[in-house]
Amino acid sequence: MYRSAKLPEPEPTQRRRWPRQEGGRRVTRNRQQPQLQAPRATTKSRARGRDRGQIRRANQSPPDAIALPTAGERLEAAPTSRPDHPGNHLIVTFAVHAQGVRGSKASPSKGREFPLTIPSFFCELLGDHVRRLPQIDVNAVAEHRVASSSECTELLSMTTPVVTRFAPSPTGFLHIGGARTALFNWLYAKRHGGTMLLRIEDTDRERSTQAAVDAIIDGLKWLGLSWEGEPISQFQRADRHADVARDLVAAGKAYYCYCTPEELNDMREHAKANGLPPRYDGRWRDRDPKEAPEGVKPAIRIKAPLEGETVIEDAVQGTVAFPNKDLDDFIILRSDGTPTYMHAVVVDDHDMGVTQIIRGDDHLTNTARQRIIYDALGWAMPKVAHIPLIHGPDGAKLSKRHGALGVEAYRAMGYLPVALRNYLVRLGWAHGDAEILSTDEMTALFDLEGIGRSPSRFDFVKLENLNGHYIRQSDDAELVAQVIALLEHIPQGAEIKAKLTDKIKGQFLAAMPGLKERAKTLLELLDGAGFLFSVRPLAYDEKAASLLDEAGKAALAAILPRLEALPDWTAAATEDVVRTYATETGLKLGKIAQPLRAAATGRSMSPPIFDVLAVLGRDEALGRIRDAI
RNA sequence: GCGGCCUUCGUCUAUCGGUUAGGACACUAGCCUUUCACGCUGGAGAGACGGGUUCGAUUCCCGUAGGCCGUACCA
């Protein structure tokens, strides 16, 4: 038996997470939110607190560096503490951007960030936040205790609607890892009253196909995941990407590189031969473009910092630092004028107003590169959360052999979207011992803190168990509808559909209570209903045939007249006849029930036999019994 | 090679320095029973290895091993 998920009570248990001790390069594992330690209003005690990470203390920024938003600017406030912790202080990072950046080609304004402990003005802020903003004195930080999680959620949704995105590349179907990423993004957005956007990363024209786009959209819809607005095509935003890249060159943050592919190859070979990491050597970084060779179209490379380290604050992975010496001047705009992925994501996430990125941890190292672009642009980076990948049952990378099927394959295998969602949400995320989570429950409980850091394996058996659970729980008519819908997606579906008369549909529905207890997938449900589709004379499977031996036939022959004499053809009536007969003759019930089952269904296994007889109806049932004798 | 991430029953996971290391799936013994299921009651089953720190480590640190990711004018 499962434990059902507990929804948060008014006072949720406080889960405290302390950072791992400092040491080495890894600074802290910032999985817990430091704000759990109530920040003080005094400058002194705040200064003693945690000194790394995205939260800078208000007093750290000199007042004149904090230019408050003015008309025409947009304010973003990102909560950096758990919004569902009543009684906790909230620390909010504000970022100011030029208004109307979304989709515009205007040169972006430099973003400014300033963090504040949630002060008393927050309430005022909500009343009429934009107008009041210029009046805020960021140094006069007072405390404000948020009274309830709902207050918090409400406040936050007013200032900073959460925006997540799912950004698949349409080079194949929506595989299971992508489906989970989409689920997490969807859940996170729902949880915070925000929205999820869908962006198709189709800048690779060679590999992107419309069929894949359709499959992804179809898969998401089937899974029950919705997004806001039309899917955004990354490819169609190429001009914007190019503009931003050129702006970066103009600002001296990027430069043209005239290296030929051959030259780069040589560079790599050479580095390899000398046991060095294959990195671009920056030969055009400070070179005068006048020296450009004739006829070579340049690519644009970002000027990456040469020293120090690039630090990522990740909601799942903690604080991760990458030495800048390992990050070279990578290309942001190809020589043909198209953007690279690294550049396009940054520009798009920014323009789309994404506040929280949730993606596979294969992107973790990319994030350092993207941070370099954000920094060069002066844009605030959305918060990131990198979730571990899903592996196949053997622990190896997911391949076609096991889990790397498109979600449509799961549909064809007869899995319910609700079961797949439940299975997926528990793959890499946990909330105590909760196993069975309705969509509402997972929406209420999902958080980034519950995500683990180790990869998980895909386990069909568990999925099946969950699916069986949801099938048993489903409404009978709903299941009939689901199976009928499934016929569109399976081989022989059309054939079965042709046989599916209204009468059989009715029988299917009537038999459903017995059927659904025995099925783990919709396919098994259909299979279990096979006896409804069979036409006399039935073909018996091996075990059924052996049940219809001399003794079996004799039992049937003996019971037949009594059944024929029944005034009412109900399960109770037939059962009564058979039980009476068994008592009279001293036969075990099974000695009669099993041959009956074989005769009625052609198999040795079925729902309770008397229910089967009732569903079949008097004439059909008696006919099948006579056939067997 | 370089950089990053990971490692608790077979699998998914809980654990937040003191627990008989908990739950779920699977497995298994039994009960229920007209078959198969469902359900119920039991059972077996885990901290990769080696060093630290500590009165005490699954938990914190270091190392080793193994796995994964990245290192493209792919995304």
For A287-348, the DSSP string reads: S-GGGPPTTPPPEEEE---SSSEEEEEETTTEEEEEEGGG----EEE-TTSPBPHHHHHHHH
Count of residues making up chain A: 629
Residue A170 has a pLDDT of 92
Question: What's the rounded Cα separation, in Å, for the pair A520 and A101?
Answer: 50
Q: Mean pLDDT in chain A?
A: 77
Nucleotide nearest A433, from its CA to each C1':
B23
Of A139, A160, A181, which residue is a domain's last?
A: A160
Higher pLDDT, residue A131 or A436: A436
As ranges, strand B nucleotides with an atom below 7 A of a protein CB are: 1-8, 10-17, 22-26, 33-41, 59-63, 67-75
Domain count, chain A: 4
CA of A107 to C1' of B18 (A): 59
CA distances A484 to A142, A504, A607, Å, are 61, 12, 20
Could you report the predicted ipTM of this complex, rounded to two decimals? 0.96
Smallest Cα–C1' distance to nucleotide B61: which residue has it? A23
Residue A348, domain extent? 164-387
Residue A105 has a pLDDT of 25
Residue A608 has a pLDDT of 97
Nucleotide nearest A366, from its CA to each C1':
B70
A280-290 burial, b at 16+ Cβ within 10 Å, e below that, comes to bebebeeeeee
Beta-ladder partners of A94: A77, A114
Q: Are residues A175 and A132 in the same domain?
A: no
Q: Are residues A253 and A349 in the same domain?
A: yes
The CATH number for A615's domain is 1.10.10.350
Tell me the pLDDT band of A217, cut-offs 50, 70 and 90: very high
Of A160, A182, A213, which residue is a domain's last?
A: A160
Of A141, A160, A179, which residue is a domain's last?
A: A160
Question: What's the rounded Cα separation, in Å, for the pair A198 and A217?
Answer: 9
For residues A201 and A234, the answer to whether their CB atoms sit within 8 Å is: yes
Domain assignment of residue A21, yes or no = no
Q: Are residues A205 and A299 in the same domain?
A: yes
Q: Are residues A366 and A464 in the same domain?
A: no
CA of A597 to C1' of B68 (A): 52
Nucleotide nearest A389, from its CA to each C1':
B68
Domain assignment of residue A10, yes or no = no
Mean pLDDT value of segment A229-258: 95
Q: Are residues A447 and A552 in the same domain?
A: no
pLDDT at A331 > cutoff 60: yes
Q: Give the rounded percent of residues in chain A with a pLDDT score beyond 90.
A: 61
Domain assignment of residue A14, yes or no = no
pLDDT at A134 > cutoff 90: no
**Cβ contacts of A227 within 8 Å, gap of 6 or more:** A166, A186, A195, A196, A197, A198, A220
pLDDT tens-digit series, residues A510-557: 999 999 999 999 999 999 999 999 999 999 999 999 999 999 999 999
Residue A341 has a pLDDT of 94
Q: Are residues A351 and A466 in the same domain?
A: no
pLDDT at A338 > cutoff 90: yes
CA of A331 to C1' of B58 (A): 45
Tell me the pLDDT band of A393, cut-offs 50, 70 and 90: confident
Mean pLDDT value of segment A590-599: 96
Residue A291 has a pLDDT of 78
The one catalytic residue in A400, A497, A503, A543 is A400
Q: Are residues A325 and A425 in the same domain?
A: no
Domain assignment of residue A17, yes or no = no
Q: Are residues A417 and A287 in the same domain?
A: no
Whether a cis peptide bond, with omega within 30° of 0, leads into A289 is no
Instruction: Average the pLDDT over each of A32-36, A295-299, A577-581 and give the range with the smallest value.
Output: A32-36
pLDDT tens-digit series, residues A58-103: 222 222 222 333 333 344 444 433 333 333 334 444 443 333 222 2
The CATH number for A484's domain is 1.10.1160.10
pLDDT at A143 > cutoff 70: no
Q: Are residues A207 and A317 in the same domain?
A: yes
Smallest Cα–C1' distance to nucleotide B23: which residue has it? A433
Q: Are residues A518 and A557 in the same domain?
A: no
Question: What's the rounded Cα separation, in Å, for the pair A624 and A280?
Answer: 79
Residue A307 has a pLDDT of 87
CA of A120 to C1' of B46 (A): 50
Mean pLDDT value of segment A336-340: 94
Q: Are residues A559 and A606 in the same domain?
A: yes
Tell me the pLDDT band of A53, cut-offs 50, 70 and 90: very low
Residue A293 has a pLDDT of 80
A503 is known as an active-site residue: no
Domain assignment of residue A393, yes or no = no
**Cβ contacts of A550 within 8 Å, gap of 6 or more:** none
Domain assignment of residue A433, yes or no = yes
Mean pLDDT value of segment A140-145: 35
Q: Give the rounded percent of residues in chain A with a pLDDT score beyond 70.
A: 73
Domain assignment of residue A28, yes or no = no
Smallest Cα–C1' distance to nucleotide B2: which residue has it? A277
List the structure tokens of A604: 């040795």
Nucleotide nearest A170, from its CA to each C1':
B75
Domain assignment of residue A394, yes or no = no
CA of A462 to C1' of B34 (A): 30
CA distances A369 to A247, A304, A342, A349, A614, Å, are 18, 8, 7, 14, 68
- Please give the DSSP secondary-structure letter assigned to residue A22: P
Nucleotide nearest A171, from its CA to each C1':
B75
Single pTM value for the model: 0.79
Q: Are residues A98 and A170 in the same domain?
A: no
Tell me the pLDDT band of A270, cut-offs 50, 70 and 90: confident
**Cβ contacts of A437 within 8 Å, gap of 6 or more:** A5, A422, A425, A426, A431, A445
CA of A451 to C1' of B50 (A): 30
pLDDT at A157 > cutoff 60: no
